Structure formats: structure tokens, C-alpha cells
């Protein structure tokens, strides 16, 4: 079955690193995504990783994928107040016509 | 280029009433998706259009929900009659086949 789980809340100090974790159940996932939702805004694609990769880095963002454990993480280096948002993990599976299967979202709060 | 736009941004209706949500995708995007987030839970897929055809409507909760995309441009999602559990944020997304671009969502509150 298809299920994506995330912890609901994370609080970090400005300048520290944030690590948001996600687990998924479908081993046939093709792509895994991280979306960001700021207050009053839609979902913005932050980054994605293909299922045959184990790491992807994009400026302050690092995505790690452990396919054996079906675990995905997003690390934000030097977290800023502008990073405060809800972060959603999502996957697509073969034959799904790119429909996204989301987790419940992790609310990241950055404090001074 | 305009992004995905959704109307209205908020709607408060009474149980039993009808509400119609609208989504205008990015021009030229054949794929249009509807999703819903209820009460801080996961965002759930509702359905997928390719042009005017329903490719996948497996996520539609029940027959009180009707989605249309006449002419393959904008789409509407009608809830009739609305129930309390229909409250949530309804997102629309569009794509050419790759990255999906999301609208800001419609927050529906049924009282």
C-alpha cells in the first residue's frame, strides 16, 4: 500500500541545521519530493530525488534517501526565519500518472 | 506567466449547501490534479484530468463530489450537498507531464 509518514513539528534555532524525516511504504516509488508551504501560499517544489539515488545536494538543502529502510530526509543548513513553513514529503509510483502521495507535513518553526 | 489560480480563496457554507471551486491551470498544461488536505492531515489525491478527460478519479470521496473540465481549460469541483467532514483545503495543480505547479488552495469550511 501507499503510505507516507512524517513527524508533525520541529523547532530549531536560527543558524542551526534542520533535519526533517519521512518514511514511506511503497518500495516501487519512482521519485520522492519535498514541498514547502508558507502561510497563505500554495505548495512549492523544493527538491526531488530519483529513487536510484541516495543523495542530492542543492545549496543549503541536502536530501538523503535510504531505499532499504524507505527513509527520506531533508537537511536545511544554516536555517533562517524564512525557512519557517510546513514541509511535505511526497512520492510518485509507477502507473500513477504522476499523482503525488503526500505525508501530513512537518511544521518547522525557526526561533532566534 | 501566470501560475495556477484558484477561486475562491476561502468559502464558508452551511451543511447541505452547494459549493463550486474553480481552478485555472497554467496555460498549455494538459494535466490537472485536485487534492485535499483535511484537518492538518496528509494531502490526499482526489482526481486527475488529462485535457478534458478524467484519467484517474480514484480519490473522489463519494458521489457528492463532481469535477469537470469542459474544453480542457479550467476545472470546477462541486460539492453537493456539503457535509461537515468536507471542510479542508482544496489544492489544484497542473503540469505538462513533469513538475506539478500548485495553486494557493481554497479553504472550505462547512458549518
Which tens digit of pLDDT belongs to each residue from A11-51? 999 999 999 999 998 888 889 999 999 988 889 999 999 98
d(CA B35, CA B59): 9
| CA-based nearest residue in chain B for residue A40 | B104
CB contacts under 8 A, A 19-58 vs B, are 35, 40-45
The answer to whether B74 faces chain A, any CB pair under 8 Å, is: no
Q: Is the pLDDT of residue A96 over 80?
A: no
d(CA A25, CA A6): 12
Distances A88 to A21, B40, B56, B62, B67 between C-alpha atoms, Å: 10, 12, 22, 26, 25
| B23 half-sphere exposure, CB direction, 13 A CA radius | 31
Q: Is the pLDDT of residue A1 over 80?
A: no
Q: Is the pLDDT of residue A90 over 70?
A: yes
| CB-closest option in B42, B48, B103 to A102 | B42
- Residues B29, B75: contact at Cβ < 8 Å? no
Q: Do A45 and B100 touch (CB under 8 A)?
A: yes
The per-residue pLDDT for A39 is: 87
The per-residue pLDDT for A2 is: 63
Please list the ranges in chain B whose pLDDT falls under 50: none
The separation between CA A52 and the C-alpha centre of its own chain, rounded to angstroms, equals 17
The answer to whether B93 faces chain A, any CB pair under 8 Å, is: yes
Distance in Å, alpha carbon of A56 to nearest chain B alpha carbon: 17
Q: What residues of chain B lie within 8 A of the CB of A36, using their CB?
A: none
| CA-based nearest residue in chain B for residue A4 | B42
Over the stretch A57-86, which tens digit does the pLDDT of each residue have? 999 999 999 999 999 999 999 999 999 999
d(CA A98, CA A19): 26
| CA-based nearest residue in chain B for residue A33 | B99
The x, y and z cell numbers of residue B57, run together, are 478519479
Q: What residues of chain A lie within 8 A of the CB of B88, using their CB?
A: none
Amino acid at each position: 500500500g501507499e503510505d507516507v509518514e512524517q513527524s508533525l513539528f520541529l523547532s530549531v534555532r536560527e543558524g542551526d541545521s534542520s533535519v526533517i524525516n519521512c518514511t514511506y511504504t511503497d518500495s516501487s516509488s519512482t521519485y520522492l519530493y519535498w514541498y514547502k508551504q508558507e502561510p497563505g501560499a500554495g505548495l512549492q517544489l523544493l527538491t526531488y530525488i530519483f529513487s536510484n539515488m541516495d543523495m542530492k545536494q542543492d545549496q543549503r538543502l541536502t536530501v538523503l534517501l535510504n531505499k532499504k529502510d524507505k527513509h527520506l530526509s531533508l537537511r536545511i543548513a544554516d536555517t533562517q526565519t524564512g525557512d519557517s513553513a510546513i514541509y511535505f514529503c511526497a512520492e510518485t509510483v509507477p502507473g500513477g500518472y504522476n499523482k503525488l502521495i503526500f505525508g501530513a507535513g512537518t511544521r518547522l518553526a525557526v526561533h532566534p | 506567466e501566470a501560475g495556477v489560480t484558484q477561486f475562491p480563496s476561502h468559502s464558508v457554507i452551511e451543511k447541505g449547501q452547494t459549493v463550486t471551486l474553480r481552478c485555472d491551470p497554467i496555460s498549455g498544461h494538459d494535466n490537472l490534479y485536485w487534492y485535499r488536505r483535511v484537518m492538518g492531515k496528509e494531502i490526499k489525491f482526489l482526481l486527475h484530468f488529462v485535457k478534458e478527460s478524467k484519467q484517474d478519479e480514484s480519490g473522489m470521496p463519494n458521489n457528492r463530489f463532481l469535477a469537470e473540465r469542459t474544453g480542457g481549460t479550467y476545472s470546477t469541483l462541486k460539492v453537493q450537498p456539503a457535509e461537515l467532514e468536507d471542510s479542508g483545503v482544496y489544492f489544484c495543480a497542473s503540469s505538462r507531464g513533469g513538475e506539478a505547479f500548485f495553486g494557493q488552495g481554497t479553504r472550505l469550511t462547512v458549518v
